[in-house]
Amino acid sequence: MVRDGAVSGGATPSHPTAETVARACLTAVASPGDPAMGRAIATHGAVAVWRAVREERPLAAPSERDASGFAVRLRRWRARAQRVDGEALLARADDLGVRVAVPGDPEWPRQLDDLAEARPYALWMRGARDLRHCCLRSVAVVGSRAASSYGLHATGELCYALAERGWVTVSGGAYGIDGAAHRAALTGGAATVAVLACGLDVAYPRGHENLFADVGSAGVLVTEHPPGTLPSRHAFLVRNRLIAALTPGTVVVEAGPRSGALNTASHARELCRTLMAVPGPVTSALSSGCHRLLRDFQAVCVTEAADVIEQVGQIGADLRPQTATVLDPAELDELSRRVLAALPQRTTVGTATVAAAAEVDLDTALRTLGVLAAGGFVERGETGWRARSAP
Amino acid sequence: MVRDGAVSGGATPSHPTAETVARACLTAVASPGDPAMGRAIATHGAVAVWRAVREERPLAAPSERDASGFAVRLRRWRARAQRVDGEALLARADDLGVRVAVPGDPEWPRQLDDLAEARPYALWMRGARDLRHCCLRSVAVVGSRAASSYGLHATGELCYALAERGWVTVSGGAYGIDGAAHRAALTGGAATVAVLACGLDVAYPRGHENLFADVGSAGVLVTEHPPGTLPSRHAFLVRNRLIAALTPGTVVVEAGPRSGALNTASHARELCRTLMAVPGPVTSALSSGCHRLLRDFQAVCVTEAADVIEQVGQIGADLRPQTATVLDPAELDELSRRVLAALPQRTTVGTATVAAAAEVDLDTALRTLGVLAAGGFVERGETGWRARSAP
């Protein structure tokens, strides 16, 4: 019997459909997320597009906006397609334990549809867990490669606690925050999803080879690139949209003013995902990107797993109770506490009722309510007194 | 010649009006900010209220909501009024170099009208500068007494830089953040306003006696309490509304989960002032209050003086230019940079125009634009390409 969400083998079904073969091949032909390819597939179907580029058949521009540049693109795709052998590509992936999923497959995460024309043509995956299932209760945790010990610590605490509560961490594969996120989540006993910007047979960075093996054992590695693809700077930026799209929310733990994590944040915002940032010392340049997200881009300030789950969790299943007041009633004297305790929060009551409930005389009740009102603990409405939530 | 905003002497005009005497005496009779007293003054006038309590004449409840408790209040006010001698009180203040201001006086800060019924009856002040003038370009900076070295450092940097740009710091008189705020602002060459919860002849806390003398020399000390009043816990909470009301915005630098600074924050929000918070390490309990303000109460994340001035400054006079992008175009290769530079930000242009401007062929322009689009640097509209602001 397999664990819930576990995948039975490492490979694509032994008889892949023409659609799967075509889309797998197209990942080797067009740049990931190229909207012209996205539109071509949407218009003509992946099989027709693949045949047209592979067999150099004519292919109409999918829309008027593609009219001017489509011939140029088609030439480039055709040139690359000549070097792609679908059967060999899938066989090689199979040998590597890499499977492929296309839209409509059970493992395909449907939230990627939000990427519209920039949706991946296919996904290459390796690992014990089902990608779609992993992402159901997941959150993206990203940040700088050159992280500070503070950032690494905050990442570790956050991802460990998320893992303990059954939340999957999605991140890249870089040194720094990405690596710390995977390690802490795996230690916390959860799956993680590593979204890579190269082929799954390319260990990049080299020092994360063992980490990627661990992610594969407990979670899943995923990429848009066919086996053999080396990473490029462009690929990292394009990859970031996948991290944002796979999850209901992205947490930026630490990011300098020009960190790539801010690119992921930008994708999260565009996709209407929840954008969160962990604050840090104002003296740290590595937190300045987070502070900018908080100040100018409506990121939610999160400091612990409970904050994150409150943002991305389901109402009822995940939300925690709200604390009622900021001011500590313990700061009040005994009499004031007694009167405060006698007040309802949602309805109002008259002074005499408060006096009776608090077992004090009317004069004392009135005086004490005045003190409490001035301190912001209670307020007087048209129909009487009530306790206030703070601040 | 006196400096702009400096006050000529330390004392109230030698012939105070009956209104001034009455309001000064009422500060010794009712708790500060008691809305029943505020309404009584609004209804009957301060002179009539003072005579009624001093000479035990009848006084009608100012409104129906006061009907039930007004007799009780009046009894208490009358008992206290018997011990108040208006002439002696003002003479004593004069001896101490303390002046009094009432609504309508040139030194009265009209923004206190926003407190409505909780507006002070009168203000007692000591110091070289005019309170109203000081508060024109001011910001409240508050935080915990038990501040961390991080909080003290952040406060110092912030208030020094605000002072250098001519902004006045308004704070309480406590140890910790309050004290650090005054010291840094004074060092930066600006006035500061210390809002105290006791009479101006009471040095509380004792260790700030010299600091208060410095504030008096360069700025102004202000309180609602007549000379001789000792501080009480209640007085601190009520005092916080003044700090919030005097300024267009309040910055909470460091605050534990139950800090009194959160009470000031709550007043700032109620008064529709700008609420700001300085983030700190998530590992510090002393920043947890600030993070809560950021997360749940729409406080603006500020990390330096420029952030604060952007929030409370006047458009045109104080605002700084926005930085254009988060992603560093320097991360791009030379070709991509060239194509990006050829693009307008506000209008769109066709691919051929971009190619010509970047001095590349059409194919290269199109390919490079695709890369830039995937990275979020450019976008394609119906009529052509344009550069994007990030994120």
Say yes or no for a CB contact (<8 Å) between B282 and A278: yes
> Stretch B131-158: mean pLDDT, rounded?
96
Q: Please provide residue A196's backbone torsions phi and psi, each rounded to the nearest 5 degrees.
A: -105, 160
What is the DSSP code (8-state) at residue A6?
Answer: B
Q: What is the DSSP letter of A235?
A: H
> How far off is chain A from B80, nearest CA to CA, in Å?
15
pLDDT given for residue B323 in this prediction? 43
Could you report how far apart the first and last alpha carbons of chain A are, in Å?
53
Chain B residues close to A307, C-beta within 8 Å:
295
The shortest C-alpha distance from A351 to chain B (Å) reads 9
Are A258 and B32 inside 8 Å of each other by CB?
A: no
B390–A262 C-beta distance less than 8 A: yes
pLDDT at A334 (0 to 100): 79
Band of pLDDT at residue B391, cut at 50, 70 and 90? very low
Chains A, B: CB contacts under 8 A, how many? Answer: 192
**Confidence band for A186, pLDDT divided at 50, 70 and 90:** very high
pLDDT over 70 (residue B11): no
A188: pLDDT strictly greater than 60: yes
Helices (H), A82-148: 86-95, 131-134
Place B343 in a pLDDT band, splitting at 50, 70 and 90: confident
State the sign of the Cα–Cα–Cα–Cα dihedral B44, B48, B51, B52: negative
C-alpha span between B309 and B318 (Å, rounded)? 7
Pick from A76, A119, A237, A340 the residue to mutate for testing the B interface (most B CBs within 10 Å): A237
Percent of chain A, pLDDT > 90?
Answer: 71
Q: What is the rounded average pLDDT of the residues A54-75?
A: 90
Q: What is the mean pLDDT of residues A79-92?
A: 95
> Are B131 and B159 in contact, with CB atoms under 8 Å apart?
no
Given an 8 Å threshold on Cβ–Cβ distance, is A391 in contact with B266? yes
Domains and CATH numbers, chain A: 18-123 (no CATH), 128-312 (3.40.50.450), 329-387 (1.10.10.10)
Q: What are the pLDDT digits (tens) for B160-201?
A: 999 999 999 999 999 999 999 999 999 999 999 999 999 999
Share of chain B above pLDDT 90, in %: 71
Section B288-313 average pLDDT: 95
Q: Smallest Cβ distance to A279: which of B118, B294, B374?
A: B294
Q: Which of B211, B46, B29, B24 is nearest to B125 (CA)?
A: B24
Helix (H, G, I), strand (E, B) or coil at B141: strand
Q: In the predicted model, is pLDDT for residue B9 greater than 80?
A: no
Convert the pLDDT of each residue in A353-371 to its tens digit: 888 888 888 888 888 888 7
Query: In chain B, where does DSSP find H-type helix?
Result: 18-26, 35-44, 46-54, 70-81, 86-95, 131-134, 149-164, 177-187, 209-218, 233-246, 261-270, 288-296, 305-312, 334-341, 351-358, 362-374
- Closest residue in B to A278 (Cα) is B282
Interchain proximity B266–A373, CB inside 8 Å: no
User: What is the rounded CA–CA span in Å between residue A288 and residue B109?
Assistant: 36
pLDDT value at residue A355: 85
8 Å CB contact between B28 and B1: no
pLDDT at B94: 95
CB within 8 Å: A391 and B237: no
Q: Would you call B391 and A297 a contact, using CB atoms and an 8 Å cutoff? A: yes
Task: Name which of B262, B288, B294 is nearest A294 (Cβ-Cβ).
Answer: B294
First and final C-alpha spacing in chain B? 53
B354 contacts on A by Cβ (under 8 Å): none
Residue A373 pLDDT grade (very low, low, confident, very high; cuts 50, 70, 90): confident
Is B370 a residue whose pLDDT tops 90? no
pLDDT in tens, A238-294: 999 999 999 999 999 999 998 899 999 999 999 999 999 999 999 999 999 999 999
Tens of pLDDT along B37-92?
999 999 999 999 999 999 989 999 998 888 888 999 999 999 999 999 999 999 99
The shortest C-alpha distance from A238 to chain B (Å) reads 6
Asked which of A106-120, A319-333, B214-228, B306-320 is least confident by mean pLDDT, the reply is A319-333
**A327, pLDDT greater than 60:** no
Chain segment A139-162, per-residue pLDDT in tens: 999 999 999 999 999 999 999 999
Residues in chain A, total: 391
